[in-house]
Amino acid sequence: MKVQTEQSKFDTDEHILVCLSSSPSNARIIHTAAKMAKVLHARFTAIYVQTDTVINDEDQSRLSQNIQLAQRLGAEIVMTHGENVALQISEYVRLSDVTKIVIGQSSARRRGLFGRPTLTEKLISSAPDVDIHIIPDALNYTKSHRRRLFFGAEIPSLRDIAVTVLALAVCTAIGFLFDHLDFPDTNIVTVYILGVLMISVLTKGYLCSMAGSLLSVVLFGFFLTEPRLSFQTYAVGYPITFAVMLASSVLTGTLASKLKDHARLSARSAFRVQVLFDTDRLLQKAKSNDDVLSVTCMQLSRLLDRSIVAYMKGENGMLSGRLYAEKKDTYAEKLLSDAERQTAEWVLQNGRRAGAATAQFGKSECLYLAIRAGGRVYGVIGIPMKPEKPDSFESSIVLSVVNECALAMDNAHNAAEKERAADFAKSEQLRADLLRSISHDLRTPLCSVSGNADTLLHNGNCLDEATKQQIYKDIYDDSEWLIGVVENLLYVTRLNDGRLKLELTDQLVDEVVNEAVSHLKKKSVGHKVTVRCDDLILARMDAQLIVQVIVNLIDNALKYTEQGSEICVSAEKQGGDAVIRVTDNGNGIADDMKPHIFEMFYTGKNTVADSRRSFGIGLTLCKSIVELHGGTLTLTDNVPHGCIFTFTLPLSEVTLNE
């Protein structure tokens, strides 16, 4: 029923995509998109495109809250990386069959008459077949940046400034050398362009490359053109040369910086994919939930370079906390305090994140995430927020790894449920077979006992003595058969319940065999039963159970062989075992039946002379008892015809006292 509900949920083929951001109004946009997805019974996805722009701690915290909100409302979180946000969104739209995009008005506002195209305009041009819903934004929010100047450039470090100065000084020195060697000015210009390219590669951001482009033109015009040490020039075409040089330098530096940024983002994406791949590979090898949790926490510890705390859900609540770390950390002891455990218990009960950087238990040392799949919570993982908070890239990997952990535990839970269901179905089938066999097979002897007793009760005076003796014998035989069946059932019940305890003693094998044969003396009339046992074979056994094994094997031979058949019970020593065989010269057992002969309730196609079928538990019981003794029970053919049942028992060690 659940599968049918999930399938009908997406019958409309609608897929709604909401764009995540650090804007305060983004929560309202997420709520609106979630309502649309619920009304349309659509798939719901939230996407965040990480760029090179650095946001402050406040915006980072707000972004995390918006991601959590989207998760709580049922959205699938997707995080990508790239400088062109519209291109990343449109590519996902194309690959995932998105039908509607929901964004805020603040993201769709063009600034100025000649401003750059807005995100909405770019999406319309790149994904014209998708409906774009713009949610009005009443908040005048300006996204704050950290350590940024004009054009989104980051303040360069002292190292970047030193690299820029050194590169321009080297280019100027090479320019003086080329000028002294009377090389053309085009070679000097090429050297400066090469210098700008090196600055772009060796420094971070755009500012150093832009400054290098401008300074290279200034240095070339001031030091390497006539007149020297002046910005004046005698040549008519030098202003054009300066302009072309500046444009080439700026373009070269910009392209190099962008390539470097794309390479960095590609490396981070490759690293994220590699971490997830390694985690998935290790989780597939895990055999239990403890192994799954250990793999997950060690992967997170390697990724974040900090200790990870985890709690598993037990039958009676949350278990004790565990600490996972690649190296010793004195700060890690605080992560297992009572206050931290209280936060983890709240997350386990509510299935929502809490702790540091959240509204719930915000003073905690860790951010606690629920290991949740569907409606089940399997545990809690705590991520320390010190010495520094994970950035958005690391947070996305953490969420992906935790989701992989939850999926692995859920798969293990489902597999265990299926195994329990299969075991229950098997036990129910065995119970049904047992009841059906009892109701069918006990009817014949009970009816015979009841009918014979009724004959004796009402017509006893009319019967001669020979007839009465035959009726008495029939009643006795049926009663003995019923007693044997009941004993086998009791033994099987004790075996299944684990209540069958062995009382091992040292016994002479020939005495045990003779006792078993004597139990079947009356029943073996019409068959030739012989015993051949070596003398003084002392074996370690539970005598009562082994007698029951031999009785069952002989009784089985009596049932399925014709009158006049020979049955031989033999015993001998072989190595450290006593080998006992029950051999008959009957018709034998067909090859297709041999693999099933020791299965519970298997009776085969053979018929019994007195019309009583065996329950099919005798051989199963024999095999179980022999294996409890550390031996084996096997079936082989008796050439030219018949069967040989062989089982072994360990010999006793005899100590002689002088």
For the stretch 178-236, pLDDT in tens is: 888 888 877 887 887 788 778 777 777 667 777 777 787 778 777 777 777 666 655 55
Q: How sure is the predictor about 584, in pLDDT bands with cuts at 50, 70 and 90? A: very high
DSSP string, 408-456: HHHHHHHHHHHHHHHHHHHHHHHHHHHHHHHHHHTHHHHHHHHHHHHHH
Share of the chain above pLDDT 90, in %: 10
**Regarding beta strands 15-19 and 100-104, do their DSSP bridges make them parallel or antiparallel, or are they unpaired?**
parallel
Cα–Cα distance for residue pair 197/200, rounded to 1 Å: 5
At the fourth CATH level, the homologous superfamily of domain 505-650 is Histidine kinase-like ATPase, C-terminal domain (3.30.565.10)
Q: How sure is the predictor about 1, in pLDDT bands with cuts at 50, 70 and 90? A: very low
Non-local CB neighbours of 353 within 8 Å, separated by 6+ positions: 68, 347, 367, 368, 369, 370
Closest alpha carbon to 563 in 527, 521, 522, 520? 527
Q: How far is CA 331 from the centre of its chain?
A: 31
CB atoms under 10 Å from CB of 131, counted, come to 12
Reading the block at residue 614, the tokens are: 């065996």
Q: For 424-478, how does the pLDDT look when each residue is reduced to its tens digit (9 = 90+)?
A: 887 777 667 666 666 666 777 788 888 888 888 888 788 888 888 888 888 887 7
Reading the block at residue 125, the tokens are: 């041009």
Q: For 22-39, how does the pLDDT look when each residue is reduced to its tens digit (9 = 90+)?
A: 888 888 889 999 999 888
Q: For 7-21, how does the pLDDT look when each residue is reduced to its tens digit (9 = 90+)?
A: 344 456 788 999 888
- Our CA dihedral for 354, 358, 361, 364, rounded to 10 degrees, sits at 90
Q: For 547-572, how does the pLDDT look when each residue is reduced to its tens digit (9 = 90+)?
A: 888 988 998 888 888 888 899 999 99
Q: At residue 537, does pLDDT exceed 80?
A: yes
Q: Residue 289's pLDDT is what?
A: 86
Q: For 630-649, how does the pLDDT look when each residue is reduced to its tens digit (9 = 90+)?
A: 899 999 998 888 999 999 99
Amino acid (one-letter) located at 369: L
Q: At residue 655, does pLDDT exceed 60?
A: no
| Residue 531 burial (10 A CB sphere; 0-12, 13-18, 19+) | middle
> Which CATH number applies to 287-411: 3.40.50.300, 3.40.309.10, 3.40.50.620, 3.30.450.40?
3.30.450.40
Strand partners, 48: 79
Q: How sure is the predictor about 53, in pLDDT bands with cuts at 50, 70 and 90? A: low
> Which CATH number applies to 2-135: 3.30.200.20, 3.40.50.620, 1.10.150.20, 2.60.40.420?
3.40.50.620
Q: Residue 330's pLDDT is what?
A: 61
Q: Residue 562's pLDDT is what?
A: 87
Q: How sure is the predictor about 355, in pLDDT bands with cuts at 50, 70 and 90? A: confident
Residue whose tokens read 């409309």? 12
Q: Residue 634's pLDDT is what?
A: 92
Q: Domain locations in the chain?
A: 2-135, 150-264, 287-411, 443-497, 505-650
At 376, which helix (H) or strand (E)? strand 376-384
Q: Residue 233's pLDDT is what?
A: 59
E strands present in 11-53: 15-19, 43-50
Q: What is the mean pLDDT of the chain?
A: 78
At 518, which helix (H) or strand (E)? helix 509-519
What 627-633 contacts at long range (C-beta under 8 Å, 24+ apart), as own/partner pairs, is 628/500, 628/502, 628/545, 629/502, 629/504, 629/540, 629/541, 629/542, 629/545, 629/546, 631/577, 633/598
Mean pLDDT of 526-531: 90
Cα separations in angstroms, 474 against 301, 438, 479: 78, 20, 8
Fold agreement (2-135, 287-411): no
Q: Residue 462's pLDDT is what?
A: 83
Mean pLDDT of 356-380: 86
Q: For 124-156, how does the pLDDT look when each residue is reduced to its tens digit (9 = 90+)?
A: 877 778 888 888 765 544 444 444 444 445 577
CB atoms under 10 Å from CB of 24, counted, come to 15
Output 441 or 56, whichever has higher pLDDT: 56
Non-local CB neighbours of 395 within 8 Å, separated by 6+ positions: 64, 67
Q: How sure is the predictor about 500, in pLDDT bands with cuts at 50, 70 and 90? A: low
